[in-house]
């Protein structure tokens, strides 16, 4: 009876992995007829639940006081609940009769009986692909004592300004509406990858992607628990051993976009270049629990970073953080809090989400949108980037149709604003009316014409490099860097154009194409003047 109850409550098993001569092979788990029936019913009921959840606001708005509708809904709900119970029992009986599932449950229970299972136990667990909610905890934020290595730096960009009493009272209804709309649709618009129906549609696609990472790259799946209790699904590819991968001792932590998953996301680019790579899914994405609100996003990437350092054994100095699109928020946040990392790469990233959100919503909702963004989804990678003092590379997609207010004009790409905000924050004395205007002109031109502007302004790369190196030698590489206090506006403009050409690389692509490995640029450090990563 105990084993039957264990099977009823146990996770769904999908796939089995086996190792042969340093290769990994996988085979689907074959369930018997009784378990298949139970699984099909449970899956169908989950789809009905999600459809009902997302359509419930429209049903509520169309309600006209007919209480018979409530009675019918209660009857159907009770019937579906009983059907779910019967389906779960069917599934449990089928599993109890399957020797493969019994072996799996014994292995899983052994791992769950240990607070942090060792690698020997995890090797047995990783032979199986199953519901991640039952996966053993491999690392928890609280495993490391709270100390100076767990900083908390937050950016306040004026979301909550001082208001008079009348203004506060007047804004209360707007605040309530903003919160409701954020919960019902705002979060889903900003992070469509958290929509459960979309994830159900992509489920097999994600499973195949995860299998490819395990099969082709010997990826190791781990569960990381955050300070607020969310479970984050991660995938680690270790390239530190042997001489096959020269870049293997450097770890690239990948922060995905608003509909990206590590299974099919940006891990592919650093993997091609031979780096060790750690991917993770946003809260509410794939198997990760929670929801992608800013505080949960911060706790997630913080736990992932702690796992990389204390769980996987990488030094902060050996870690590059790579963020794509909205992943620029979490990647710039972790860079802001871990200034010792080897560098930050921001690909197709914006400076502030509000200027992108306003044009995409009806004009009459402007006030509500501002309140919702600034109070509940306040994503400001640009402000966070200004708090980071290490090496940076910004990849701008020339044909980006997402992080722009007008995709026909390169000058409206918000990557421009990200770069300008960054240079102004890091080199404030170089910023003047002339340098800012010329930089905007340079950013607005096709990349093939940018060299002509630099020639027109007599930008000598060697002279600029020497001036910067001399300043660093005399004053140390600390930020903000006050170089330019005694420069003319022309000389400031030359330095700004030089710096822009070093910090930004243009990729002639739209938003969603994978980043070509040849554009995966080592973050530039002024004193070393590093170049592009070379593909082996």
- Range 80-101 average pLDDT: 85
- Range 45-56 average pLDDT: 71
Average pLDDT of the chain?
A: 88
Tens-place pLDDT, residues 475-487:
887 888 999 999 9
Measured in degrees and rounded to the nearest 5, phi and psi for residue 395 equal -100, 120
Measured in degrees and rounded to the nearest 5, phi and psi for residue 334 equal -70, -35
| Fold category of 138-390 in CATH | Rossmann fold (3.40.50)
- E strand intervals along 251-371: 251-255, 276-280, 319-324, 343-347
Band of residue 531 on the pLDDT scale cut at 50, 70, 90: very low
Whether 533 shows a pLDDT value over 70: the answer reads no
For residues 206 and 263, the answer to whether their CB atoms sit within 8 Å is: yes
pLDDT of residue 265: 95
- Range 231-238 average pLDDT: 98
Whether 273 shows a pLDDT value over 80: the answer reads yes
pLDDT of residue 528: 58
Whether 69 shows a pLDDT value over 90: the answer reads no
CA distance 412 to 407: 7
Map tokens 């650093």 to a residue: 270
Chain CA centroid to CA 437, Å: 33
Give the domain ranges of the chain.
2-137, 138-390
Whether 108 shows a pLDDT value over 70: the answer reads yes
Band of residue 206 on the pLDDT scale cut at 50, 70, 90: very high
- Give pTM, 2 decimals: 0.88
Tens-place pLDDT, residues 405-419:
998 999 999 999 999
pLDDT of residue 164: 55
Whether 534 shows a pLDDT value over 60: the answer reads no
- Range 495-501 average pLDDT: 97
CA distance 364 to 367: 8
Q: Token pair for residue 100?
A: 């493969």
Of these ranges, 171-185, 342-356, 359-373, 518-532, the one predicted with the greatest mean pLDDT is 342-356
- Range 145-169 average pLDDT: 55
350 secondary structure, DSSP code: -
- Range 490-508 average pLDDT: 96
* Least confident among 167-181, 416-430, 520-534: 520-534
pLDDT of residue 62: 60
- For residue 447, give the 3-state DSSP assignment: helix
Cα-based torsion angle of the residue sequence 317, 319, 324, 330 in order, rounded to the nearest 10 degrees: -70
């Amino acid at each position: 009876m105990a084993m039957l109850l264990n099977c009823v409550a146990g996770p769904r098993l999908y796939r089995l992995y086996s190792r042969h001569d340093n290769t990994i092979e996988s085979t689907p788990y074959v369930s018997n007829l009784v378990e298949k029936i139970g699984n099909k019913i449970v899956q169908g009921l989950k789809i009905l639940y999600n459809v009902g959840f997302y359509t419930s606001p429209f049903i509520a708005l169309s309600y006209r006081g007919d209480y018979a509708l409530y009675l019918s809904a209660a009857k159907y709900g009770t019937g579906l609940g009983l059907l779910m119970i019967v389906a779960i029992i069917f599934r449990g009986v089928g599993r109890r009769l399957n020797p493969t599932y019994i072996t799996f449950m014994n292995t899983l229970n052994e791992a769950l009986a240990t607070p942090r299972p060792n690698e020997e136990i995890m090797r047995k667990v990783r032979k199986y692909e199953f519901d991640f909610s039952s996966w053993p905890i491999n690392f928890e934020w609280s495993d490391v004592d709270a100390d100076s290595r767990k900083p908390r730096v937050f950016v306040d960009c004026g979301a909550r300004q001082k208001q008079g009493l009348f203004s506060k009272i007047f804004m209360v209804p707007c605040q309530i509406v903003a919160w409701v709309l954020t919960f019902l649709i705002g979060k889903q618009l900003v992070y469509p990858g958290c929509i459960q129906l979309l994830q159900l549609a992509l489920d097999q696609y994600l499973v195949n992607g995860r299998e490819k990472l395990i099969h082709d790259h010997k990826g190791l799946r781990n569960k990381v628990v955050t300070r607020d209790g969310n479970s984050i699904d991660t995938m680690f590819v270790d390239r530190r051993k042997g001489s096959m991968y020269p870049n293997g001792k450097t770890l690239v932590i990948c922060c995905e976009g608003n509909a990206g998953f590590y299974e099919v996301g940006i891990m592919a680019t650093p993997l091609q270049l031979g780096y060790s790579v750690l991917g993770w899914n946003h809260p509410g994405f794939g198997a990760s629990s929670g929801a992608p609100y800013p505080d949960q996003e911060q706790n997630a990437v913080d736990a992932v970073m702690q796992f990389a350092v204390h769980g996987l054994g990488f030094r902060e100095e050996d870690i590059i953080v790579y963020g794509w699109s909205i992943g620029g928020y979490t990647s710039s946040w972790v860079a802001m809090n871990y200034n010792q990392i080897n560098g930050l790469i921001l690909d197709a990233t914006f400076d502030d989400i509000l200027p992108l959100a306003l044009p995409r919503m009806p004009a009459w909702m402007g006030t509500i949108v501002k309140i919702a963004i600034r109070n509940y989804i306040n994503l400001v990678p640009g402000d966070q980037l200004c708090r980071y003092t290490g090496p940076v590379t910004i990849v701008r997609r020339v044909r980006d149709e997402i992080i722009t207010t007008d995709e026909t004009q390169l000058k409206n790409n918000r990557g421009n604003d990200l770069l300008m905000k960054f240079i102004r924050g890091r080199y404030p004395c170089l910023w003047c009316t002339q340098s800012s205007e010329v930089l905007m002109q340079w950013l607005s031109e096709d990349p093939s014409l940018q060299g002509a502007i630099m020639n027109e302004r007599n930008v000598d790369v060697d002279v600029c490099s020497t001036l910067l190196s001399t300043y660093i030698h005399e004053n140390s590489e600390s930020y903000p860097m006050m170089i330019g206090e005694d420069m003319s506006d022309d000389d400031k403009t030359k330095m700004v154009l030089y710096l822009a050409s070093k910090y930004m690389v243009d990729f002639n692509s739209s938003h969603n194409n994978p980043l070509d490995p040849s554009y995966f640029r080592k973050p530039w450090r002024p004193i070393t003047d590093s170049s592009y990563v070379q593909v082996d």
